[in-house]
Amino acid sequence: MEKIAIFFGPLNGSVHRIAKLVASKIGTDKVDLIHITDASPADLEKYDRIIFGISTIGKDTWQQKFDNTDWSHFFPIVTDFNFKGKKVAIFGLGDHITYAYHFVDSMGLLGKTIKNNGGEIFGKVSTEGYTFQDSDAIVEGQFIGLPVDEDFEPELTEERVSAWVDSLMKTF
């Protein structure tokens, strides 16, 4: 079985911790963890199954020019990459209290970009059990990937990740 790539950023925070948790649930021998600052289009090309881990920043932040973040350097690679034939899943870190009107928006932006570039998105999650006001990550009534709130709901993370990986691996 070919390995699954988990591309994640930023390093040494909640996204990194969740990327390691997802890898452990899949099986660390079946996964390559790749920090996005070390990634290139050639790295994306190597894998047919890709999981992205991204943190959420508000819509106002995405609309500004921030060139000092991991994703600001990697997002142009994703934007230009042809995902045709790739299976892609996404988990996004969000804060449903501070960013209630932008909950996991970055996950939505990433997912829409991948879909527009030919990728097939797996691992959608019901909005049931989540409290928020608005999210760009909702497509056809479901989150485009797994939302995780380590700021205000860390006690739910293990269960959410386990259920997501179990469901994801049936079709991924």
pLDDT in tens, 56-112: 764 444 455 555 578 888 999 999 999 999 999 999 999 999 888 889 999 999 999
What is the structure's pLDDT at 71?
87
Encode pLDDT of 124-141 as tens digits.
Answer: 999 999 999 999 999 999
φ and ψ of 101, to 5 deg: -95, 0
Domain boundaries, the chain: 4-171
**Homologous superfamily assigned to 4-171:** Flavodoxin domain (3.40.50.360)
